[in-house]
Amino acid sequence: MPTIRVVVVDDEPLTRAGVRYALEQADDLDVAAAVPVAGAVETIQEQLPQVVLLDSCTSDAEPLSDGIGRLDRPPSVCVFSRSSDRRHVAVALAAGASGYVLKSTPSERLAPLVRSLADGWTMLSAGIGDDLATRYVAGLGRDVSAGHLSRLTARERQILVLVGAGLSNAEIGLRTHLSPATVKDHVGSILRKLEVSSRLRAALLADRAGLLPY
C-alpha cells in the first residue's frame, strides 16, 4: 500500500501531538513533520507532503497559499479549525484549500480524511458543507446567469472548467501551458467577474451552468 506523506501545521503543541499520534496509528500514513505556523512553508517545501493539515490562521492564508502554490506539485491543504465562521471558511477556500474541517472531528476520522484528500477530494465538516449548500441554493437565481458567464474570456472559461474539476493552479498550469502565477491571475479575474468569493463557489456555478463534463 502506498504511503501518504503528511505535514501537520498548528501553533498549539498539544494539538500537533494529538493529531500526529492519531495519524501515526495508520500504517499507510507518514507524518513527516508537525510544526508551528512560523516556518511552515519552508517545512512543506522540504518535506513535499501530499497532504497538509493546517491550523486556521486566516491572516497568514495568502503568504501560505503563495508559498505552497510555488511548489511543482502542491499538496492538498485542509484547514483544521475551531471556527465554523463562514468568513473564515471563505478565506480558506479562496486561498486554495482543499478542505475545511473542525477540530472537534473525532480522532478516528482523521486518517480517512487524509486518504480522501490525497485522492483529490474536497472535504468539509458536515455543518459547514450544509451551510455552503444552503447559501448556494438561496443564491442560484442571482449567481447563475448568462450575463455573468458572458463576462469570461475563452481562456477564463477553460480555466473555470479545470477549477471545477478540482485542479490546483499548478495542475491547471500544466494543462494550459501557463505559469501558476498566470493561472492565479486568471482565477482572480474569474472570481471577480462571477462575483463570488471562492473557488468552490465558482465551481458550483460552472456545474450549474452545465460547463463541467460530468
Range of the domain at 151: 139-208
| CA-based torsion, 12, 13, 14, 20: positive or negative | positive
Residues 189-210: tens digit of each pLDDT: 999 998 887 887 788 777 777 7
Q: What tens digit of pLDDT does each residue of 91-124 get?
A: 677 667 888 899 999 999 999 999 999 998 888 8
CB 179 within 8 A of CB 111: no
Tally the domains of the chain: 2
Same domain, 91 and 168: no
The answer to whether 10 and 36 have CB atoms below 8 angstroms apart is yes
As to burial, measured by CB atoms within 10 angstroms (0-12 exposed, 13-18 middle, 19+ buried), residue 118 is: buried
List CB contacts of 66: < 8 A, sequence separation 6 or more: none
17 and 76 assigned to the same domain: yes
Residues 51 and 146 in one domain: no
Question: 48-103: per-residue pLDDT in tens?
Answer: 999 999 987 645 555 566 677 777 788 999 988 888 877 677 767 766 788 889 99
Residue 196: what pLDDT?
82
